[in-house]
Amino acid sequence: MTFSYRMRWMLPVALLRLLLVSVIKNAGNHTYDSSHRLETYYDFIVVGSGSAGATLAARLSEVTGWRILLLEAGGEPPPESHVPALYPALLQGEADWNFVTTRQRHSLRGFTDRVSTPYGRGKVVGGSSTINFMMYLRGNRRDFDNWEAMGNPGWSYRDVLPYFIKSEDYRGTRHGATAAYHGFGGPLTVEDKHWYTPLLNGFLKAGQQLGYNVIDANGPEMIGDRSAFLSFVSADEVAVTKAGALCTRPRGSRVKVKGGALRLPTPSNKSREDARAPTPAQRNPALER
Ligand SMILES: Cc1cc2nc3c(=O)[nH]c(=O)nc-3n(C[C@H](O)[C@H](O)[C@H](O)COP(=O)(O)OP(=O)(O)OC[C@H]3O[C@@H](n4cnc5c(N)ncnc54)[C@H](O)[C@@H]3O)c2cc1C
């Protein structure tokens, strides 16, 4: 990002933040421990507070007494991350790593000259979930089944489906045939999109004429059309579905979140050995729920 780019956006961004902080209850606030005070030891140090890291830290914190430190290279979520429609304002800003792809041969075909393009990745507490569009679409069952067929037992769609269901709090329309594929009471709120445009209606209709039914894309059949499921309910609840906020829920232990902490990998053989996944016998039974 160039200096002039920053200067041009500084005032509008400052005004927008001021407005958001005054209008939205949760914007600019959080309840996890982000003080600079560190303990002398931690039972677990998780690097990266994105969807994966925050979930891992939150699950570990369910065991009373464990000390968990979550290290994050970026800072705290900016106020505009509480309003899903403002996601474009987060891209290429301070909460983004500002990566750019190399020149593409097989993608970006809609671009003249197939140039490189910005590639958003969150550098902020909550990682990419803090800057993403909040659409909820599970990976396709065929991909999971293919991974298992490639020699990864336990990764078939049948194996991972219980975890999708467990993590979901589905508040959308219930259809008899797909109800068994949804979960209720989990940490991730999922609901139907409530607005349809003439363009979207026309698109769905055109799909039907081509033989693509309007389906629940997270149900048994995953190829078809539908408007997106979204993972939020209201502006105040948006924060609940962002990964960083998982760590704010009351649990057995508190997670300490340290922003601005870039942890570089140490590629020694010893650390690689330590990083191996635990065998079932090494796992803590308290987390096998
Ligand atoms: C613009 C955008 C829109 C998207 N829209 C959707 C959507 O609508 N629906 C959907 O399901 N998915 C969406 N995604 C994808 C989804 O957000 C990601 O797949 C998911 O968040 C990835 O989780 P992760 O934990 O693997 O990585 P991330 O969430 O990216 O987390 C990685 C974290 O690690 C930190 N980190 C990296 N290196 C270090 C280091 N050395 N030291 C300390 N910290 C470090 C990063 O700063 C980051 O916070 C979108 C992604 C983007 C970027």
Q: What is the ipTM of this complex?
A: 0.99
User: Which residue's CA lies nearest to atom 38 of ligand 1?
Assistant: 48
pLDDT bracket for residue 79 (50, 70, 90): confident
125 C-alpha to center of ligand 1: Å? 10
267 domain residue, yes or no? yes
- Which of 231, 259, 278 represents a domain boundary (last residue)? 231
15/74 same-domain check: yes
Ligand 1 site-directed mutation target among 71, 98, 117, 129, most atoms within 8 Å of CB? 129
The letter for the amino acid at 172 is: G
Rounded Cα distance between 247 and 57, Å, is: 7
Residue 78's CB: how many other CB atoms inside 10 A? 22
Segment of 102-111, 127-136, 248-257 carrying the highest mean pLDDT: 127-136
28 domain residue, yes or no? yes
Q: Say what the pLDDT of residue 47 is.
A: 93
10/121 same-domain check: yes
Atom of ligand 1 at shortest range from CA of 135: 8
Ligand 1 site-directed mutation target among 100, 128, 130, most atoms within 8 Å of CB? 128
Q: Give the pairing of strands 188-192 and 229-230.
A: antiparallel
75 domain residue, yes or no? yes
Dump pLDDT digits (tens) for 193-250: 777 889 988 988 998 999 888 888 888 888 877 777 766 544 333 333 455 555 555 4
163/267 same-domain check: no
Residue 4's CB: how many other CB atoms inside 10 A? 8
115/147 same-domain check: no
Q: CA dist 131 to 42, 67, 79, 89, 277, Å? A: 29, 28, 11, 9, 29
210 C-alpha to center of ligand 1: Å? 35
55/20 same-domain check: yes
Look-up of token digits 């993590």: 167
User: Which residue's CA lies nearest to atom 18 of ligand 1?
Assistant: 128
Look-up of token digits 């219980």: 162
121 C-alpha to center of ligand 1: Å? 5
Dump pLDDT digits (tens) for 12-48: 777 777 776 666 655 555 656 667 778 888 999 999 9
122 C-alpha to center of ligand 1: Å? 5
* CB 180, CB 174: distance < 8 Å: no
129/140 same-domain check: no
| Residues paired with residue 170 on neighbouring β-strands, in sequence order | 190
Q: Which residues are CB-neighbours of 90 under 8 A, at least 6 positions away?
A: 78, 80, 81, 96, 130, 131
User: Which residue's CA lies nearest to atom 46 of ligand 1?
Assistant: 123
**Average pLDDT of 82-95?**
85
Domain count for the chain, please give it. 2
92/211 same-domain check: no
Which residues lie with the beta carbon below 6 Å from any ligand 1 atom?
Answer: 47-53, 71-74, 91, 120-124, 127-129, 131-135, 261-264
244 C-alpha to center of ligand 1: Å? 11
Q: Which domain holds residue 63?
A: 1-133+242-289
